[in-house]
Amino acid sequence: MEVVMAESGMSVFATIGFGLFILLAAVGGAAVLTWFERRLLGIWQDRYGPNRLGPFGILQVAADMLKLLTKHDWIPPFADRMVFIFAPTAIVVAMMMGFTVVPFSPDLYIIDLNIGLLFFLAMTSLAVYSVLLGGLASNNKYALLGGLRSAAQMISYEVFMGLSLMGVVMLTGSFSMRDIVEAQRDMWNCIPQFLGLYVFLIAGIAESHRLPFDLPEAEHELTAGFHTEYGGMKFAMLMLGEYLGLILISCMMVTLFFGGWLGPWLPPVVWFVIKVFIVICFFILLRAAIPRPRYDQLMTLGWKFMLPLTLVNLLGTGVIVLWMEG
């Protein structure tokens, strides 16, 4: 495995500092995203969002954080204490580790691995342990059902997510995130890999259990699902992990299918941020517009439609690659 530091001459300490900056920016972005999502949903659904604290309700973020930080840190006496505490930490760490391989511009990234794409898939796979262990450790029937649902949903859609990206790897010839972006200078992968993009989009929603695929925490069935017994700072960490997952999936979608930092006139990092912002708005629009399916419909969608689509995409991409080479 090859590891490449920033080619701009950044020292090890500068790279570590940039990594800390990215992680803090991701956490801050996730906090602001809680307000932005509620505000945008209010606009699209013709109602008020947060509007009492500060201009446009922006200080609602600070109020929510203050409430969660000062709330009594209660652990159910019937829960498995160590696992109950560990579960919220696991999802935050896994999502933060995923940001280490995201290239924000040609010279701004934490680390460039020649297996960067596999590293991203590995980190998203580790996130399933958080919701599964949280549901099991709570010793609550609703939480247990939510944890089992989440495990089945995330493990199933990891298969389709990984297969949907193999077409990108075949066209690029590399698992390096920077190589994948550089290979899109003539044409973004969203055009030749539109089937892969569609599958990755659906799998990304299911992996981050965002609406309409938030069935592991469906409040109309399971109270709050796997985090029924969580409150205070632990609940805040679970929500932080969810929003970090949304940002990470958006960053990866931009990197893999929409040219990453590529664009005219503006600085590369600005193009990257603009594209990520548009993708996040699209995810929020899905929450506002699409109803939640039944759990069996979600699993049927994966194994009966997503899997054949990924195989068709792989077959078609293989034919095109062989034709171009020979």
Q: What is the DSSP string of 8-21?
A: T---HHHHHHHHHH
What pLDDT sits at residue 254? 93
**Domain residue extents for the chain:** 3-321
Q: In one letter, which amino acid is 238?
A: L
Q: What is the mean pLDDT of residues 189-211?
A: 86
Which stretches within the chain are classed as H helix?
12-44, 60-70, 81-98, 116-137, 141-164, 166-172, 177-182, 194-207, 219-222, 232-257, 268-289, 295-301, 307-325
- Banded pLDDT at 256 (limits 50, 70, 90): very high
**What is the DSSP secondary structure assignment for residue 278, as one 8-state letter?**
H
Strand (E) or helix (H) holding 269: helix 268-289
Q: Are 171 and 189 in contact (CB under 8 A)?
A: yes
Q: How confident is the model at residue 271 (pLDDT cuts 50, 70, 90)?
A: very high
When the pLDDT of each residue in the chain is averaged and rounded to a whole number, the result is 83
Other CB atoms within a 10 A radius of the CB of residue 81 amount to: 11
| Residue bearing the bigger pLDDT, 7 or 195 | 195
* Residue found under tokens 């994966």: 302
Confidence of residue 6 (pLDDT cuts 50, 70, 90): very low
The predicted pLDDT at position 279 comes to 92
Confidence of residue 219 (pLDDT cuts 50, 70, 90): low
Question: What pLDDT does residue 8 have?
Answer: 44
Q: Is the pLDDT of residue 221 over 80?
A: no
On the question of pLDDT at 229 being above 50, the answer is yes
Map residue 121 onto helix, strand or coil: helix
Mean pLDDT of the 181-192 span = 88
Q: How far apart are CA 42 and CA 24, in angstroms?
A: 28
pLDDT in the model for residue 257:
92
Q: Is the pTM of this model over 0.85?
A: yes
Q: What is the pLDDT of residues 86-133, one digit of tens each?
A: 888 888 888 888 888 899 888 888 888 888 899 998 888 888 888 888
**Would you state the structure tokens that stand for residue 160, as one six-digit string?**
């389709």
- Residue 89 — φ and ψ, nearest 5°? -70, -35
Is the pLDDT confidence value at 57 over 80? yes
Instruction: Give the pair of three-digit tokens for residue 231.
Output: 């409150």
Query: What are the pLDDT digits (tens) for 313-325?
Result: 899 888 888 888 7
pLDDT value for 9? 46
**DSSP-based three-state secondary structure for 97:** helix
Q: What is the pLDDT of residue 224?
A: 66
Q: Give the residue with greater pLDDT, 175 vs 11.
A: 175
Q: Which of the pair, 149 or 183, is modelled with greater confidence? A: 183
pLDDT at 7: 43
Q: 215 pLDDT band (50/70/90 cuts)?
A: low
The 10s digit of each residue's pLDDT in 277-311 is 999 999 888 888 887 777 788 888 888 888 888 99
Evaluate whether 203 touches 166 at the Cβ level (below 8 Å).
no
Neighbours of 133 (CB within 10 A): 21
Q: Residue 90 to residues 26, 87, 95, 127: CA-CA distances in angstroms?
A: 16, 5, 9, 7
| Residue among 261, 168, 129, 151 nearest 206 (CA) | 151
Q: Say which residue, 271 or 126, is predicted with more confidence.
A: 271
Region 17-46: mean pLDDT is 85
What's the full length of the chain, in residues?
326
